[in-house]
Amino acid sequence: MATALVSTELPLELVARGKVRDVYDAGLTEGEFAGALLFVATDRISAFDVILENGIPDKGRMLHGLSEFWFELLTPSVIESHVLATRWDDFPESLRTRLADVRDQVDGRAMLVRRANVVPLEAIVRGYITGSGWAEYRRSGTVHGVTLPAGLVESQEIPDGPLFTPSTKAEQGAHDENISPEKAAELVGADLAQKIGESARALYAKAAEHARSRGIIIADTKFEFGQVDGKLILVDEVLTPDSSRFWSAADYAPGRGQASFDKQYVRDWMKEHGLDTAAKNGTKVTLPDDIVQRTAEKYREAFRVITGREFA
Ligand SMILES: Nc1ncnc2c1ncn2[C@@H]1O[C@H](COP(=O)(O)OP(=O)(O)O)[C@@H](O)[C@H]1O
Ligand SMILES: [Mg+2]
């Protein structure tokens, strides 16, 4: 198995290291690429708000490939995106020259994107009731403050269609907070919140239709939006196992939790070893090899099923 790339070191100005992505200023000043960011998916993995010590080999390349696939399917037909170029060969020659020595950290895992003012909302869309939505519903009959009909069971498809259920974007290590659409409107303005809600639901609808044709249910997902010259665009990654819950349609049954394509092995293993609260006490977490390998296989499977081709 390939070794995991947990951190990149590129000869460019580092703008941010997120949980998974290293973001650089690409240093380009001319034409359509002026001011672009180089958005690099590493093999880091996080669970329970901790970034784990080891990565999942090739996870970043699979996330990159999946996002690329969805951007092609969904944008610009639903909304424009931040994407300028996803393939090494399409990067400007000056950048390729500058990165020639570190090409292995970039090729197949980095895209050039327009730098946007990211709207401080996680634009979550839920088609099915699960996770924190299910927990809230059991307590109060609501999901993000929105009242739903009584008598829903765990993992049930939400009657009357997918809900826009935003959350705040917390600082690293902190928990995002679920909020109502009204609260989102207070935070970012009614017009912007409305546009984001509409776009997020339209993106979800089109993606869910594609996924369904491949035997996958997208239970819920999270988009991010940004503004460039006053225009709203889709940013960040799109519809990967890190930002979405994918379920197998063949195995789906309401009334219980569903096995998913994402970090289930990682979460189960951490819980078993009392590490699900590691973030609180700063404990470092290293996964054993078999969990790493099984998780890598899950990402590979998600890539294969959704794109219809083998991950190379
Ligand atoms: N076009 C863009 N311009 C500026 N920032 C962006 C853009 N697209 C995504 N981002 C930000 O880049 C970061 C991506 O790194 P990631 O590892 O996913 O971070 P996080 O830990 O917040 O999930 C996120 O903070 C995201 O909001
Ligand atoms: Mg992210």
The tokens describing 267, both together, are 């979460």
267 found inside a domain: no
96 found inside a domain: yes
Full DSSP string of 112-150: EE---EE-SEEEEEESB--HHHHHHHHHHSEETTEE--T
Rounded to 5 degrees, φ, ψ at 237 are -85, 165
Q: Is 306 in the pocket of ligand 1 (CB under 6 A)?
A: no
**Residue 207 belongs to what domain range?**
118-261
Question: Are 94 and 155 found together in one domain?
Answer: no
Question: Are 49 and 81 found together in one domain?
Answer: yes
What b/e readout covers 255-267, taking b as 16+ CB neighbours within 10 angstroms?
eeebebbbbbbbe
Question: Are 141 and 172 found together in one domain?
Answer: yes
Q: Is 228 in the pocket of ligand 1 (CB under 6 A)?
A: no
Whether a cis peptide bond, with omega within 30° of 0, leads into 11 is: no
Sign of CA dihedral 280, 281, 283, 288: negative
CATH number of the CATH domain containing 215: 3.30.470.20
Q: Is 224 in the pocket of ligand 1 (CB under 6 A)?
A: yes
Q: What is the structure's pLDDT at 175?
A: 80
Question: Are 200 and 246 found together in one domain?
Answer: yes
- Domain end call among 115, 148, 177: 115
Q: What is the structure's pLDDT at 173?
A: 62
- Domain end call among 68, 97, 115: 115
166-222: pLDDT as tens digits: 999 987 667 889 999 999 999 999 999 999 999 999 999 999 999 999 999 999 999
Angle between helices 190-213 and 59-74 (to 10 degrees): 100
293 found inside a domain: no
Inform me whether the pLDDT recorded for 15 exceeds 90. yes
Q: Is 65 in the pocket of ligand 1 (CB under 6 A)?
A: no
Question: Are 149 and 166 found together in one domain?
Answer: yes
Q: Is 5 exposed, middle or buried (0-12, 13-18, 19+ CB in 10 A)?
A: buried
6 found inside a domain: no
Question: Are 160 and 257 found together in one domain?
Answer: yes
Inform me whether the pLDDT recorded for 50 exceeds 80. yes
Inform me whether the pLDDT recorded for 163 exceeds 80. yes
Q: What is the structure's pLDDT at 276?
A: 92
Higher pLDDT, 275 or 170: 275
Lookup result for tokens 């959350």? 167
Please state, in angstroms and rounded to a whole number, the distance separating the CA atoms of residues 269 and 20: 20
Inform me whether the pLDDT recorded for 25 exceeds 90. yes
Q: Is 253 exposed, middle or buried (0-12, 13-18, 19+ CB in 10 A)?
A: exposed
Higher pLDDT, 119 or 176: 119
The H or E element containing residue 289 is helix 289-307
83-105: pLDDT as tens digits: 999 999 999 999 999 999 999 99
Q: What is the structure's pLDDT at 49?
A: 85
Nearest-5° Cα angle at 28, 24 to 78: 75
Range of weakest confidence among 113-117, 130-134, 172-176, 214-218: 172-176
Please state, in angstroms and rounded to a whole number, the distance separating the CA atoms of residues 185 and 167: 12
Which residues have C-beta within 8 Å of that of residue 141, sequence separation ≥ 6? Answer: 147, 148, 150
Q: For the chain, give the percent of residues with pLDDT over 90.
A: 92
Please state, in angstroms and rounded to a whole number, the distance separating the CA atoms of residues 19 and 4: 15
Cα 18 to ligand 1 centroid, rounded to whole Å: 7
Question: Are 141 and 22 found together in one domain?
Answer: no
CATH number of the CATH domain containing 96: 3.30.200.20
What b/e readout covers 280-299, taking b as 16+ CB neighbours within 10 angstroms?
eeeeebebeeebbeebbebb
In the chain, beta strands by DSSP E: 13-17, 21-25, 37-41, 46-47, 50-51, 83-85, 110-113, 117-118, 121-126, 142-143, 146-147, 163-164, 167-168, 216-228, 231-235, 244-248
Q: Mean pLDDT for the chain?
A: 95
Q: Is 20 in the pocket of ligand 1 (CB under 6 A)?
A: yes
Q: What is the structure's pLDDT at 194?
A: 98
274 found inside a domain: no
288 found inside a domain: no
In ligand 1, the atom with minimum distance to the C-alpha of 82 is 1
With beta carbons less than 8 A apart as the criterion, state whether 246 and 219 touch.
yes
Question: Are 127 and 224 found together in one domain?
Answer: yes
Inform me whether the pLDDT recorded for 312 exceeds 90. no
Q: Which of 8, 23, 66, 71 to mutate to test the pocket of ligand 1 (most atoms within 8 A of CB)?
A: 23
Question: Are 48 and 122 found together in one domain?
Answer: no
Q: What is the structure's pLDDT at 261?
A: 74
Q: What is the structure's pLDDT at 52?
A: 96
Question: Are 172 and 202 found together in one domain?
Answer: yes
Q: Kindly indicate the confidence band of residue 260, based on its pLDDT and cuts at 50, 70 and 90.
A: confident
269 found inside a domain: no
- Domain end call among 218, 246, 261: 261
247 found inside a domain: yes
Tally of structural domains, the chain? 2
Tell me whether strands 83-85 and 142-143 are parallel, antiparallel or unpaired. Answer: unpaired
Question: Are 27 and 87 found together in one domain?
Answer: yes
Question: Are 88 and 141 found together in one domain?
Answer: no
Q: What is the structure's pLDDT at 266?
A: 93
Inform me whether the pLDDT recorded for 158 exceeds 90. yes
Cα 150 to ligand 1 centroid, rounded to whole Å: 37
